[in-house]
């Protein structure tokens, strides 16, 4: 089981950052919440801060840890650990992804998501709808 931390980065206007995996990555061209594998000796919240800096050149602060979701792909079983995050600095510069977009909640479901993200997205939308974020 591979622990993967991902970030649901939100703006004060409630837009959410989504990224598209490149053709060279596993799950090519799928939409995901940016993030990556938790390294040995690292806490998931430390991982998400590191990965977002590496992948997007953004400084984020995790504000809420959501329930993890386990998903089995043909290549691996992952435990996706989502963090709702706010930006505290930096400007987006992509180093691995093909593209990114800031989307409103109602635009999110209609994308070609990595399978593991779909239950996470649904939970986030429930929280957002309830006014938690």
Ligand X SMILES: Nc1nc2c([nH]c(=O)n2[C@H]2C[C@H](O)[C@@H](COP(=O)(O)OP(=O)(O)OP(=O)(O)O)O2)c(=O)[nH]1
Nearest distance, CB of residue 3 and ligand X, angstroms:
9
85 and 9 in contact (C-beta within 8 Å)? yes
CB of 124 to ligand X, least distance (A): 11
Which residue's Cβ lies closest to ligand X? 36
Please, which residue, 87 or 114, has the CB nearer to ligand X? 114
- Residue 51 or 131 with smaller CB distance to ligand X: 51
CB of 36 to ligand X, least distance (A): 3
**Closest to ligand X by CB, 33 or 87:** 33
Helices and strands, counts by H and E, the chain: 3, 8
Q: Which of 113, 6, 19 is nearest to 65 (CA)?
A: 6
Q: Which is nearer to ligand X, 35 or 62 (CB)?
A: 35
Listed in order, strand segments (DSSP E) in 42-98 are 58-65, 69-72, 77-90
Q: Which two tokens stand for residue 13?
A: 């206007």
Q: Name the residues that contact ligand X, by CB under 6 A.
A: 4, 6, 25-27, 32-37, 76, 78, 80, 114, 116-117
Q: How far is the CB of 93 from ligand X (least distance, A)?
A: 16
* Pairing of the two strands 99-103 and 77-90: unpaired
Q: Which helix (H) or strand (E) holds 4?
A: strand 2-10
């Amino acid at each position: 089981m591979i622990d993967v931390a991902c970030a649901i980065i939100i703006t004060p206007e409630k837009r959410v950052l989504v990224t598209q995996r490149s053709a060279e990555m596993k799950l090519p061209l799928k939409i995901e919440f940016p993030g990556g594998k938790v390294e040995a000796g690292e806490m998931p919240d430390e991982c998400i801060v590191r990965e977002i800096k590496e992948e997007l050149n953004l400084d984020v602060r995790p504000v809420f840890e959501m329930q993890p979701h386990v998903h089995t792909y043909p290549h691996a079983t992952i435990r996706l650990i989502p963090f709702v995050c706010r930006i505290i600095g930096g400007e987006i510069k992509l180093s691995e992804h093909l593209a990114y977009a800031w989307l409103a909640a109602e635009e999110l479901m209609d994308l070609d998501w990595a399978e593991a993200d779909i239950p996470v997205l649904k939970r986030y939308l429930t929280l957002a709808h309830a006014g938690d974020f």
